[in-house]
Amino acid sequence: MNPAYAQAKARFARIAALGEAQAMLGWDASAMMPPGGGAARGEQLATLAGLAHELLTAPALTADLAEARAADPWDSANLALMRRAQARALALPTALVEASARANSACEKVWRGAKAAGDFAAVSPFLTEVVRLQRETAEALAAASGLSPYDALMEGYQRGVTAAEVEPVFTAYEAFLREALPQVEERQARAPAALPLPGPFPVAQQRALCRSLSQRMGLDYDHARLDESLHPFCGGTPTDIRITTHYDPADPAKALLGVLHETGHALYERGLPEPWARQPVGEAAGMAAHESQSLIIEMQACRSDSFLRFLGPQLQASFGGPAAPYAPENLGRLWRHVSRGFIRVNADEITYPAHIILRFRLERALIGGDLSVADLPGAWNEGFARLLGVTPPTDAEGCLQDIHWHDGAFGYFPSYTLGAMAAAQLMKAARIALPGLEADLAAGNMAPLVGWLRHNLHGQGNRLGFQDLLRHATGKPLDPGDFTEHLRARYLS
């Protein structure tokens, strides 16, 4: 191995270890930390972010990368990703990186209370500071990369995808939604009403079922934990996965489907190529790729008719009551019900992209300076009404509902719908490659699907960009038509 490249690999391993420490502190802040620890935790995260940035921009690493050579395809991809990571870091002063980390941490803590109270005014000055720093970050990255400021932020979550590519995909989906949503609503109105699941749903039993089903998906609890947080997420590291959910004693679906979703993320992390751990090429291929893995498990597989035939008896064994509410047809009516709701995380798969389209357009306007934070609630409500024909009654059900902006994540939201579209495309390819897949799902056997994903996607790490990863797995780049085909088949046929 070229000595300079070997030294660069060692330096990136240290940077990755700092990132892992940040990830664990972030998990702890959401799942375990007492409220009084917020200020200190913000300083800890800012310090780690600053140290990682200093290592990434160090002249010694610059010298190594200038001399490094790699011939193997994986090493060549790794070296290219190293150079990309340093170029982005060099565009940003350490002081800006630390200031952003502090502002994000402070805003996120205030957001928790503001969301509970529906009080946008309480968080507005903190969010204003976050947006100011994100604009400064975006402009610096844009100057270094030649991208637009918003595209430069998107590049941090899913490389190689720009707003110019996303906009026509979203515009086309709007047209589909205008046509299909009334048809689905009319079809639902003619169908029998769904039977509610009989309670009670003790949290202890929900927790046991969530753990059991995530293990059946393939999650190894020697390398994972399941905990609770206000907002479900998957964090940690590939060998120390931390997933969280939120239990509602009145509705087991929230926790269960949340855990299945986060298990998809966890399986991706656990399936990354171990020989490339703590190297850029060994990371996930971006957030759209990550969302495709959570959604192929939760939406494509676990909400399918086949899997619901398996899941119904599992639910009945856990919570008791008559069999009729647990029938797959009834579970489908309950868990695939389409409605014009206000909350993104509760949205069905037809209306969910509308939530993302709204956020995509608003955050582009915020970063571009065309929308002020003070005007965000009104712009949110107007945009939501245009897309779905209803207006959120409170800011808690509107612009306060998500953690992302308050934690500094701008450019992330498009990944959700790109991931949903990719999940449909991947599932279509998996069904062709695995003729017995429906029978496996009906038996609760997820191993063939996960094995196919391990080979075609997880094991590829970050070697390929989003479009090339889809080409590798399915033979073509992103095809939004596979998603609308899936929706028509599930909801209109």
What percent of the chain has a predicted confidence (pLDDT) above 90?
96
Give mean pLDDT, residues 470-490: 98
Distance of CA 170 to the CA centre of its chain: 18
Q: How far apart are CA 4 and CA 58, in angstroms?
A: 14
Q: Which is more confidently placed, 216 or 199?
A: 216
pLDDT digits (tens, 9 = 90+) for 409-420: 999 999 999 999
pLDDT at 197: 95
Domains of the chain, start order: 3-155 (no CATH), 159-493 (1.10.1370.30)
List, in order, residues 6 or more apart from 382 with CB less than 8 Å away. none
Q: d(Cα 120, Cα 471) in Å, to the nearest integer?
A: 43
Give CA–CA dist 261/116, Å, rounded. 24
Phi, psi at residue 104, to the nearest 5°?
-65, -45
- Residue 117: exposure state from Cβ atoms within 10 A (0-12, 13-18, ≥19): middle
Q: What per-residue string of b and e applies to 97-115 under the rule 16 or more CB within 10 Å gives b?
A: bbbbbbbbbbbbbbbbebb
Q: What are phi and psi of 224, to 5 degrees?
A: -155, 160
Decide if pLDDT at 42 tops 90. no
- For CA atoms 244, 245, 246, 247, the dihedral sign is negative
- Residue 250 pLDDT more than 90? yes
Is 476 a residue whose pLDDT tops 90? yes
Neighbours of 428 (CB within 10 A): 17
Average pLDDT value for residue range 136-159: 97
Angle of helix 287-295 relative to helix 252-270, nearest 10 degrees, comes to: 130
- For residue range 165-200, list pLDDT tens digits in order: 999 999 999 999 999 999 999 999 999 999 999 989
H or E segment and range at residue 243: strand 240-245
Token output for 230: 């206000």
Helix (H, G, I), strand (E, B) or coil at 235: strand
pLDDT (0 to 100) of residue 398:
98
Query: What gap in Å lies between CA 487 and CA 427, rounded to an integer?
Result: 13
Close Cβ partners of 322 (under 8 Å, ≥ 6 residues apart): 198
The reply to whether 262 belongs to the active site is: yes
Q: Strand pairing partners for 225?
A: 242
Closest CA to 360 of 286, 291, 410, 420: 410
Q: What is the pLDDT of residue 325?
A: 97
Residue 20, classed as helix, strand or coil, is helix
In this prediction, residues 106-114 reach a mean pLDDT of 94
**What pLDDT, on a 0 to 100 scale, did the predictor assign at position 463?**
97
Name the token pair of 244: 């969280």
Which amino acid would we find at residue 337?
A: H
Edge-first strand order for the sheet with 234-237 is 224-228, 240-245, 234-237
Which residues make beta-bridge pairs with 248? Answer: 251
pLDDT at 230: 78
Task: Count CA within 13 A, CB hemisphere, residue 194.
Answer: 17
Round the average pLDDT of the chain to a whole number and report it: 96
pLDDT of 341 above 90: yes
Closest CA to 200 of 255, 256, 248, 254: 248
Give the residues across from 251 on adjacent strands. Answer: 248
Check residue 225 and give its pLDDT: 97
CB 2 within 8 A of CB 65: no
| DSSP secondary structure letter of residue 301 | I
Write out the two tokens for 139: 């402009």
Among 55, 64, 96, CA closest to 83: 64
Give SS3 for 97. Answer: helix
Sign of CA dihedral 288, 290, 296, 297: negative
Catalytic residue among 98, 108, 129, 262: 262
Contact criterion met (CB below 8 Å) for 446 and 216: yes
Helix residue ranges, H only, 191-223: 203-217
What local confidence, expressed as pLDDT, does residue 90 receive? 96
Query: Residue 50 and residue 82: Cα distance in Å, rounded?
Result: 18
Using the predicted structure, report yes or no on whether residue 231 has a pLDDT greater than 90. Answer: no
249: left (phi over 0), alpha (psi -120 to 50) or beta: alpha
C-alpha 260: how far from chain center: 13
Q: Residue 451: is its pLDDT beyond 90?
A: yes
pLDDT in tens, 7-38: 999 999 999 999 999 999 999 998 999 989 98
Q: What is the mean pLDDT of residues 193-212?
A: 96
At 288-320, the pLDDT tens digits run 999 999 999 999 999 999 999 999 999 999 999
The C-alpha atoms of residue 273 and residue 284 are separated, in whole angstroms, by 10
The structure tokens 């502002």 sit at 103
342 backbone dihedrals φ, ψ, rounded to 5°: -95, -20
- Average pLDDT, stretch 324-328? 97
The pTM is what? Answer: 0.95
CB atoms within 10 A of CB 465: 17
**pLDDT tens-digit series, residues 368-382:** 999 999 999 999 999
Q: In the chain, pLDDT over 70 holds for what percent of residues?
A: 100
β-strand partners of 240:
237
